[in-house]
Structures are given as structure tokens and as C-alpha cells.
Chain A
Amino acid sequence: MDFFLSLVIAGACVGSVYALVAVGLNLTFWTTKTLNFGQGAVMMLCAISTALLTAQGISNGVGIIAGIAIVALVGVIVERIAVRPALKTAGSMGWVIATLGFGILLQGITSKFFGSQAIPFPEVLFTVQDVIDIGGQNISLQYVSIFVVSILIIVVLEGLTRYTVLGTAIRGTAQDMELAIVQGLPVNLIVSGSFVLSSIMAGIAGILTAQISGTVDPAFGFELVLMGFVAAVLGGMGSSAGALVGGIIVGIIGKLVGGYISTAAEHGIAFALLIMMLALRPEGFFGRAEVSKA
């Protein structure tokens, strides 16, 4: 039972990061119905920048802020060169391939100039030795902190989109982009902003994960973003609550399968869930089926 509980808690913590990634994906899905398939590279870039900067003796805080600033810029660039032109000319295949390509480009540049070796990541929040007692279990404070940070960010973001003018503008753009343009909303800015925010979410998720794994390498982030997809699809694309629930479910199932059956199947089971969910209920647990007039 103790083993079970510890798996569930660890799963929920990891799952909260998946949820964070999923919420980031939702942001751009709202505004443009697109996702950045190179989001994994964004996570990697943020974590590696932070690791490299702190290795130069810069303080953790400044390193993290710089890392996040870099990926925020990447968000703008991705939207400008890979999404906007592709939406105009090449249809859906265009942006999927273009964003995927941009991710590979980032990964290629990083491994070319910083090597493909793993780089140690600094201990930003707590150390591996810090533990807290939850229900008789010793849980690593690092795990707990990523859970708290992730949930906090998701809640704040949800609050912003629900209760501020900016949020209303984003939801307006999501509902009907043409109408938003006619109404004089700065749609380009909102779309750009959604990619920036999405990249920042990915960056934070990258830092939180690197915290646990202890190292980062250029291939880092790929599996994580896939898990984010699974979480987003499970909950229903576009739903924040769905992303949260979906992320935690994926995290817990993954850990349980890993603990009781085989660690090898930990990720495989998530992808199997993804395929099943898409086949049976593409709109997810929390999404509504799109009603469209042909």
C-alpha cells in the first residue's frame, strides 16, 4: 500500500508537469488551432540555457529568467516563420511540418555548438535530500515543489483568461478570428502573445523536469512534449481543467505501470492511451464535440 501511495504521489507530481505542457499547447490551440510540434526543443533550450548560464557563475534566479526570456523570443520566431506563413499557404500539413522542422533546427544547433552530452542542471528548488512526510511517506520536496509550481501557474493562467480583458480578447480570438479582427482586436499581437506564453510554459516545464532528472541534453523534451499531447488530448484540447486532470491521470497511470509491471512500459502505455482516446473520444473527457454545419 505504501508503495502504491508513493507511486500515486510521484505520478501526480510528474503529471502536473505534463499538465503544464498541455496548458501551454492549449494556448496556441485556442488562438490559431495550431500546436508547436517543436515544443520539446523549446523546453530543452530553456533548461540548457539556464544550466549553461549558471555554470558560468550566474545566480540561479537570473539564469532561469534569462532562459525563459530566450524561449519567449523563440515563441515569437516560431509563430512568425513557421506558423503564420504556413497557415496562409500550405494548409495543416504546412504548419505541422514547419514547427517540427524548427524544433529539429533548434536541437541541431544546440547539439552542434554545445555538444550532445548531458549537462548537469543546478538544484534550483531544494536538493535531492530534502523530503517531506505526506501520509507516512517520505516525499522528495523537489517533487512536491514542481507539483505546487505547476498547479499555481495553471490556476493563475486560468484566472487571467477568465477574468481579465486580455483573457476576454484571447477567448474572442479563439471563438472567431475574423470577427475579432473586425472588432479591432490586435489579433496578430494576441496570436504572437499566445506563442510567447506557450513557450514560457514549456520553458518552465523544462526547468522543473530538469530539476528532477538532474541533467539536460539536446534530445531532452521530446518525450515530455509527447506526454503533454497525451494529457491535452485526454482532457480535451483547449480545456485547462481537462489538461490538469489528463496530465495527472497520465502521470499516475505511467508510474503505476512502471512500478507494478515494467518501467519500460511507462511511456508506451501513455501512447496507447493516446491512440485509444483519439479513436474513441477525440474530444477528450472535458471537451465538447465540435458542431459544424457542412
Chain B
Amino acid sequence: MNALRIFLTKLATHPLALLLLFVVVFFGAPYLRGATLQILSFALVSILFTQSINILTGMAGQISLGHAAFFGIGAYGSAIIAKTFGLNLFLTIPVAAVVSSLIAYLLSYPAGRVKEVYLAMMTLGFGQIFLEVAREWTDLTGGVMGLSGVPSAGLGTLIILGHKFSTIDYFRVLLLITACSMIFIRNFSQSRLGRSLFVMHYSELAAGSVGIARRQTKQLAYALSGLLAGISGGFYAHLVGYLGPESFAISRSIEVLVVAIVGGLWSSAGQVISAIFFTFLPEQLQLFAEYQFIAYGLILTFTLILFKQGIGGLLFLPPRFIRQTWLTSAQRQSQAVATNSKTSEPLFLKIQAASADIKVQAITMRFGGLVALNSVSLDIQAGHITALVGPNGSGKSTLVNIIAGVFPPSAGQVFLQGADVTAQADVEMAKKGVVRTFQDPRLVPHFTVRENILLGAHAKMHYTWLEAGLSMPRVHQQEAQALEQCNEILQLLDIEAVADQAVESLPYGYRRMTELGRALLARPKIILLDEPAAGLSDVEMSRLAEILVKLKHLGITVLLIEHHMDFLTGLVDEVVVLDSGSIIFKGDMLGMRQDPAVIAAYLGDDEVQHA
């Protein structure tokens, strides 16, 4: 089975094989029966529409139960412009698609604020609003009677530059557009922006921690998704020649979800097969048409629970999110470096100017009635390793969250290198060089170690979504540089051996290291580590200590929360003890172990005897 998967994956990603397929279909079109050509055209429309869901729901994890609306905007938009102004579809479809994209972009504002159930409801409501408008705005859409006389190849009414477009011409244009879109999406998914959508899916907090702006990322997902849905809707309109509002009801939104889920969310190849399957099946098999809704119901109820990977997971290897050629050259480089030297430090991390310090002044944090931090003031020395210790619930994580900008403090101020950064969002703090890890590693589970680490370089790369999709030279240049730096980090963390394995298949220690790697690739001036040694073996722990010392040598300020006293001894420059939201001790490790207040609150008598 796996051999088959490898073979099919090679086939589906091989440029020559795909080109051959394209050429055969393109030039074979005239030999097909008219009805078959028609169904194939519908399949292409469905593929495009499914890719729209792939971006929004598959990649970015934003569920949409009203996607038919964007499809409808594209269809009505193109049809109305074509009918009113007599323009051809090479103008009307792009215009309609841009309108659809714009509306999706606008929807992202309210939608970006809500999640899960609320998002599902909101999109459902949006779909219904569109449907009501299409039904009732009779002057524009023809209302429930529908809009007929849309220029269509099938009816022989599609004339472009004096040339009458046949169904074959139409099919070829559609095929070309679909192929280009697929390449665009492939390129996009293997770029910093494509990868950033997946982080939004799994942890918005992790996204913010490495400077991935949440709102812009969602806006991008909505806008691109709306664009593709608009294009597919436009082609649908000129394929059928008649538009009725019921074609854009909830059932179409559900149908596209069914196709995407059966194909496998985020597997474009699986979705292509699924789209073709679901277009042909009702046409070929009367029985299926009859039981269509029962089948859809069953599929939706059980697929995500029992068969999450869909057709894509069954037939193909999981898609990767780094361009293969760039990955291969990075792997080759890493081997070359490994044979040369083993001790080098990743010099790109070196802080050029003076190290950064953080001053926390009279920070108070209340959650409802609970005071988590009570007027805490603290200087974190530049270039030092500072440990934050204390019993559970003493406010350590809260303090880290406030410094990292996860939430603003109830009162008090935070200064970074003397500048007031109080209540700045985590994305901003990450861009200023304050990067953190989490108590439980927050990674994209189906990404490899390398792909996860590369997320850290997101804000250091600057190419746009258009450049990514078109694979412009700047993309290659920046990705290659990030991959090179990623190699250095893999070596520093000593996890090169597992670099290209999915993190969900790896033991806990590797996940911790991966998250540390992601934070490092964001090039921190100050790194905040929330219990980095928790769950590590002794060997891993001493490795971690070595790494932290190296970071210190590179000029990076380290603040870590930890419970392992032995781990901290000899490593840290200063230790700060929190209890019930107040600082009860500041100083070195030895002083802390002898401090009566710390012993009473945290260490207990046992620890004293050991010390």
C-alpha cells in the first residue's frame, strides 16, 4: 500500500506526468462526446470551487457553511456584467472574482473575531443573506424566475472578439485556468504564507508568538478563497447559461464541503479526484442521484471521525510545505556541514548591538476577582539567564504572558530597552525580538520538524502572496536563506536526524526542541521559555543547558520558568521567586536555597537538607 502511495505521489507531483496529462486532455477534448465534455467542464468548476474551500477551511481551519454565496457572487456578477455591457468573459469573470474576493475580505473582519460554533453560524447566516438578496432583488438577478440568456458556449451565444466560442474552446480555457490555479495554490502552500495559514488552524497563540499577524493572515485566506470561488462561479455561469437562486442555496455550500472532506482537507490531489468523482457519479448512476442527500449526510457524519485523511490520505503521501528542490538542497547542505564541524554556533543569531533588557514596573494582573500578580517590579538584565520559579499558581506564566504581549496587564508598565511596550500585542513584541515558547509545545502536528521551525522565519521573510503563488525569484532567495538558518538551528538542537519527520510522530522531547527551534529562527533578542525542561530526559536536559549557555554567548537574554532546581543550578545568573503573585526573593541560586521565605513557600525542608 505504501509503495503504491509513493508511486502515486511521485506521479501526481511529477511535472512531466502532469504536463502529459494536461496535453492529453487539452488536445483530446474534440474527441469526447458532447455530454462527457459538459460533465468534465462541471468537474473543473467543482475542482476550482473545492480549492477555494481548501484554502479557507483545509489550510486556515476557518469553517464556512455559506461558501455558495461567493460562488454565487462570481456567477451572478459575471453574468450580469456580460449581459449589461456586452463584455466578454475574459473581462467579466476577473471583475466578478475580484468583487467576490473583496466581499470575502470584508467578511473576514467580523468572521476573524469569532471561532468554531460562532463562525459556523455566521457563515451560514451570510450564505442565507446572499440567497435572500438573489431571490428578492428581481431587477438585478431576475429573482426566483432566474437570470436567463447568459452568454454560454453550450447555447452558442458566447462570442469573443468576433469568434464564436465552442464548448471545446470553453473547456480548454477552463482547463488552462484550473491548471494555473492549481500551480498557484501549490506554490502558495509551500511558502511562508501558506504555512502561516496552518498555524492559525492549530494555535493562534503560537502564530502571534513568532510574529504572524492573525488578522492579516485570516484576511488573506478569506480573500484568496473568495477569489477562487468567484472564478469558479463565473465559469459556472457561462457554462449553464441560466442562473436560478436555488443553485446557490445551502445545498451547494454543503456539496463543496463534502467534496473537500472526502478528498481530504488540505490534499489538493485528493480533492481533484473527489471533485471528478462527485460530478460524474450522479450523472452516471441514477441510483446515486436518488439517494444523493442520504449519501451526503452519511459522508459528512462519519468522514471526519472515521476517515479523516480522505482520498488524499489513502492514495498519496501527506503533502509537504517546503518546495522539494529547495528542501533537497538544504538537506545536502546540512550533510556537508555535519561532516565538517559539529561545534559551531549559529552565528546569524548573534545580537549585533547591545543585548536587550526588560524592566517590569508595578505590574498587577486581575482575572475577575483573582489577583494573579500584585504590583510586581523586576529588572531582567541584558545578556543574562534569569529563572522565574515558584509554586503553581504563583503567577509565573502570567508574567511571561504579559511580557510577551498575550494580554495587557491590569496596571503597571513593561519597558524593553527603555522603551515603553506595555500592552503591545504579541505579534509586535515578536517583531521587536521578544519571542516565547509555551508550557505545552504548540506546533502544527502534521508539519515536519523543519516545517515547524521554518514558521519562526515568517516575519523575517517579506515576499507577498502574489510572489509566492507565481514563485518569483525573491521567494526562492528568502526561502533558501531561511532553510540555511534552519539547518544551523537543527544542528544546534541536535535534531537533524528527525528534521523531516512529522512532529506528531515524534516523542515529547523532540517537540520541545522543535518549538525552541521555531522561537530561535524568529531571531530573538530576548527569549522567554515556559518550562523548557519539563518532560525531558536527563540527557536532553543537559543538552538544553548547553544550548542555553550558547544562546547567552550569542548575546540573547533568556528568561525561563522552571521547577528543576538541579537544572538551574550553575546555569542561571539570577533567580526570581514568585509566590501568590508577589516576588519574595531575587538573587543567586545559593542565596535562594537558604532563604527562609522561599523554603517556607516553595522548596520545603527536604530541599534544605539536600543543599
Contacts and interface: CB of A to CB of B under 8 A. Distances in A.
B30 interface: no
Given A34-B117, A112-B290, A293-B397, A90 B308 contact: yes
B294 A105 contact: yes
Contact of B301 (A92, A98, A109, A223): A98
A60 B298 CA distance: 33
A104 B297 contact: yes
A92 B116 contact: yes
Q: Which of B116, B136, B205, B308 has the most CB of A within 10 A?
A: B116
A104 B300 contact: yes
A275 B120 CA distance: 11
Nearest to A105: B297
A271 interface: yes
Q: Is chain A's binding surface mostly helix, strand, loop or mixed?
A: helix
A16 to B, nearest CB: 21
A271 B301 contact: no
Interface residues of A, number: 52
Contact of B126 (A222, A237, A271): A271
A212 B122 CA distance: 28
B70 to A, nearest CB: 15
Given A105-B294, A112-B290, A265-B132, A293 B367 contact: yes
Contact of B125 (A90, A104, A271): A271
A291 B367 contact: yes
Nearest to B132: A268
Interface string B531-564: 0000000000000000000000000000000000
A103 B292 CA distance: 14
Contacts of B250: 222
Contact of B308 (A37, A89, A106): A89
B82 interface: no
B128 A108 contact: no
B373 to A, nearest CB: 12
A264 B295 CA distance: 33
B114 A278 contact: yes
B304 A90 contact: yes
B597 interface: no
A112 to B, nearest CB: 6
Nearest to A218: B293
Contacts of B121: 229, 233, 274, 278
Contacts of B163: none
B397 A93 contact: no
B264 to A, nearest CB: 13
A92 B117 contact: yes
B128 A267 contact: yes
Q: Which of B114, B205, B257, B305 has the most CB of A within 10 A?
A: B305
A108 B293 contact: yes
Chain B contact-residue range equals 35 or more
A252 B548 CA distance: 64
B135 interface: yes
B128 A275 contact: no
Q: Which of B114, B126, B294 has the most CB of A within 10 A?
A: B294
Interface in A34-82: 34-35, 37, 81-82
Contact of B110 (A35, A86, A92, A275): A275
B406 interface: yes
B407 interface: yes
A291 to B, nearest CB: 5
Contacts of B406: 294
B80 interface: no
A268 B245 CA distance: 15
A97 B258 CA distance: 9
B133 A37 contact: no
Nearest to B127: A271
Contacts of A268: 128-129, 132-133
B293 A104 contact: yes
B334 to A, nearest CB: 34
A86 B305 contact: yes
Nearest to A41: B297
A226 B109 contact: no
A267 B113 contact: no
Contact of A94 (B295, B305, B401): B305
A64 to B, nearest CB: 26
A282 interface: yes
A214 interface: no
Contact of B257 (A97, A103, A112): A97
Given A93-B304, A98-B302, A108-B294, A279 B109 contact: yes
Contacts of A82: 301
B122 to A, nearest CB: 5
Interface string A103-141: 111111101100000000000000000000000000000
B125 A100 contact: no
The 7 A-B pairs of least Cβ separation, nearest first, read: A101-B300, A105-B297, A108-B293, A279-B110, A271-B125, A101-B301, A104-B297
Given A93-B304, A264-B132, A282-B118, 6 more contacts: A92-B116, A94-B304, A104-B297, A108-B294, A230-B125, A268-B129
